[in-house]
């Protein structure tokens, strides 16, 4: 059983939420983010220091001063009442309805809140330093929970009134937020959520690690902010690969070697896989459909994931990518950018090759987490995501 709590959120007050939230490099270039930062004096980008600058004393001081300045000028304001926040995100035809609340680091340590990615020490500590600089969590940890009709119906019923916020974000997604502070409603919702057996981290593993690190140094800091959505509404895009070269193979020799485990067919258009164990491949102005036909010789279900089939039988075995996290020859491009992004990257460097991959499914993510395993690096791209800065959680 998962325990959740309402909290006194800090949110936009005398400023449009759209200009306060922190744009992400997921959708905007670094140059465009810098323009956004300069054009909006009040903005969380001035508080969220880029990783790598956290140890610069002046940068930390400036971040803290800007956050305090926003509070002093009522640009943001902490709610006087405890709230659960009902949160809806729309992108195109996709809609997901969930909630913001607090959860417990203790539940993460008990594996009631489950990860599916490896957490790296240096990134975890940097995130913790960033949070403790202002004693605040600006971005929620995005989690998913097994769909519960009673919870969905309750949330839907409580969105009948106009939302406190309703705006289009920088990535064209629509965000709506309702504040729920009626004591009877809070109690009813907490009772409903007791049917949730586990939460699964979708995005924010290093923030989660940071919160555990913060608790280790101060056991009173046991709570953290989540944005929770039902599993049947979480959207996962493909996470595609571009490799810089063919590891010394000619095109013909590479295709011949690859064909030992895959059936390869030319196609006259960009190709996005339609089923599992199928891949698109682009090289030298040509797209291919690539179907896995080999055998795995493994009883471990994680080896049966599409991303591991590609990693083990092509990227590692043929192209000599031994460490996908650190090898400079590999680039990752989220499916939300489309197949044109893959073509453009490969056309810039004729020696390179791109692979489009069938998206991971939330059931795979949950199964991996339930077995205390981790997904291969860069396996899941959850989108749309909760925004940083719409509601923030001040630890004190």
- Give me the residue label for tokens 């485990």: 261
DSSP code per residue over 87-153: EEEEETTEEEEEEEEEEEHHHHHTTSEE--S---HHHHHHHHHHHHHHTEE-SPEEEEE---HHHHH
Strand partners, 203: 142
Looking at the structure, tell me whether residues 272 and 201 fall in a common domain: no
Residue 374 belongs to a domain: no
Domain that holds residue 289: 239-358
Residue 158 belongs to a domain: yes
Looking at the structure, tell me whether residues 215 and 266 fall in a common domain: no
Question: What is residue 49's predicted lDDT score, i.e. its pLDDT?
Answer: 62
Residue 217 belongs to a domain: yes
Looking at the structure, tell me whether residues 168 and 81 fall in a common domain: yes
Q: Check whether 39 has a pLDDT greater than 90.
A: no
Count of C-beta atoms within a 10 Å radius of residue 271:
19
Residue 127 belongs to a domain: yes
Looking at the structure, tell me whether residues 226 and 257 fall in a common domain: no
- Give me the residue label for tokens 């013909």: 252
CA distance 292 to 308: 12
Determine if the peptide bond prior to 384 is cis (ω within 30°): yes
Looking at the structure, tell me whether residues 75 and 138 fall in a common domain: yes
Looking at the structure, tell me whether residues 217 and 297 fall in a common domain: no
Looking at the structure, tell me whether residues 288 and 215 fall in a common domain: no
Q: Check whether 54 has a pLDDT greater than 80.
A: no
CA distance 117 to 120: 10
In sign, the C-alpha dihedral spanning 317, 319, 322, 325 is negative
Looking at the structure, tell me whether residues 39 and 158 fall in a common domain: yes
Question: What is residue 24's predicted lDDT score, i.e. its pLDDT?
Answer: 73
Q: Which two tokens stand for residue 160?
A: 């009948």
pLDDT band at residue 51 using 50, 70 and 90 as cut-offs: very low
What phi-psi label fits residue 338: left (phi over 0), alpha (psi between -120 and 50 degrees) or beta? left
Q: Which of 49, 221, 235 is nearest to 135 (CA)?
A: 221
Q: Check whether 53 has a pLDDT greater than 50.
A: no
Residue 390 belongs to a domain: yes
Q: Which of 212, 226, 8 is nearest to 121 (CA)?
A: 212
Mean pLDDT of 14-18: 91
Residue 5 belongs to a domain: no
pLDDT band at residue 52 using 50, 70 and 90 as cut-offs: very low
Looking at the structure, tell me whether residues 207 and 259 fall in a common domain: no
pLDDT band at residue 376 using 50, 70 and 90 as cut-offs: confident
Residue 4 belongs to a domain: no
For 140-180, how does the pLDDT look when each residue is reduced to its tens digit (9 = 90+)? 999 999 999 999 999 999 999 999 999 999 888 999 999 99
Looking at the structure, tell me whether residues 252 and 177 fall in a common domain: no
For 65-102, how does the pLDDT look when each residue is reduced to its tens digit (9 = 90+)? 999 999 999 999 999 999 999 999 999 999 999 999 99
Residue 366 belongs to a domain: no
Tell me if 66 sits within 8 A of 73, measured CB to CB: no
Question: What is residue 369's predicted lDDT score, i.e. its pLDDT?
Answer: 96
Residue bearing the bigger pLDDT, 23 or 235:
235
Q: Check whether 243 has a pLDDT greater than 50.
A: yes
Per-chain mean pLDDT for the chain:
93
Question: What is residue 196's predicted lDDT score, i.e. its pLDDT?
Answer: 95
Mean pLDDT of 226-247: 96
Mean pLDDT of 326-342: 92
Question: What is residue 60's predicted lDDT score, i.e. its pLDDT?
Answer: 86
Looking at the structure, tell me whether residues 60 and 172 fall in a common domain: yes
Looking at the structure, tell me whether residues 148 and 271 fall in a common domain: no
How many domains would you assign to the chain? Answer: 2
């Amino acid at each position: 059983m998962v325990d959740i709590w309402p909290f006194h959120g800090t949110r936009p007050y005398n400023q449009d939420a759209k200009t306060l939230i922190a744009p992400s490099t997921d959708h905007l270039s670094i140059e465009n983010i810098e323009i956004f930062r300069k054009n909006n004096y009040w903005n969380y980008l001035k508080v969220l220091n880029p990783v790598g600058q956290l140890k610069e004393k002046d940068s930390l001081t400036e971040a803290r001063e800007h956050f305090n300045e926003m509070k002093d000028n009522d640009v943001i304001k902490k709610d006087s009442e405890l709230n659960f926040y009902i949160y809806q995100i729309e992108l195109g035809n996709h809609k997901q309805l969930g909630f913001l609340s607090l959860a417990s680091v203790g539940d993460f340590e008990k594996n009631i809140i489950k990860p599916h990615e490896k957490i790296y020490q240096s990134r975890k500590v940097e995130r913790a330093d960033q949070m403790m600089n202002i004693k605040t969590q600006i971005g929620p940890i995005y989690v998913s929970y097994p769909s519960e009709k009673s919870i969905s119906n309750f949330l839907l019923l409580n969105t009948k009134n106009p939302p406190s916020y309703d705006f289009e974000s920088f990535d064209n997604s629509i965000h709506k937020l309702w504040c729920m502070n009626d004591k009877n409603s809070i109690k009813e919702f907490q009772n409903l959520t007791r049917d949730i057996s586990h939460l699964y981290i979708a995005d924010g593993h290093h923030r989660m690690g940071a919160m555990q690190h913060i608790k280790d140094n101060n056991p009173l800091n046991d709570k953290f902010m989540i944005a929770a959505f039902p599993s049947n509404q979480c959207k996962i895009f493909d996470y595609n690969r571009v490799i810089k070269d063919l590891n010394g193979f000619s095109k013909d020799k590479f295709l011949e070697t690859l064909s030992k485990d895959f059936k390869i067919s030319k196609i006259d258009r960009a190709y996005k896989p339609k089923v599992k164990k199928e891949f698109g491949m682009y090289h030298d102005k040509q797209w291919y459909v690539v179907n896995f036909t080999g055998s795995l010789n493994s009883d471990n279900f994680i080896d049966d994931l599409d991303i591991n089939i590609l990693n083990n039988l092509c990227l590692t075995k043929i192209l000599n990518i031994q460490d996908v996290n650190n090898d400079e020859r590999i680039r990752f491009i989220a499916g939300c950018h489309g197949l044109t992004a893959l073509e453009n990257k490969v056309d810039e460097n004729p020696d390179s090759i791109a692979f489009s991959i069938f998206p991971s499914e939330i059931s795979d993510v949950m199964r991996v987490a339930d077995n205390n395993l981790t997904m291969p690096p860069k396996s899941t791209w959850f989108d749309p995501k909760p925004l940083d800065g719409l509601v923030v959680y001040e630890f004190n």
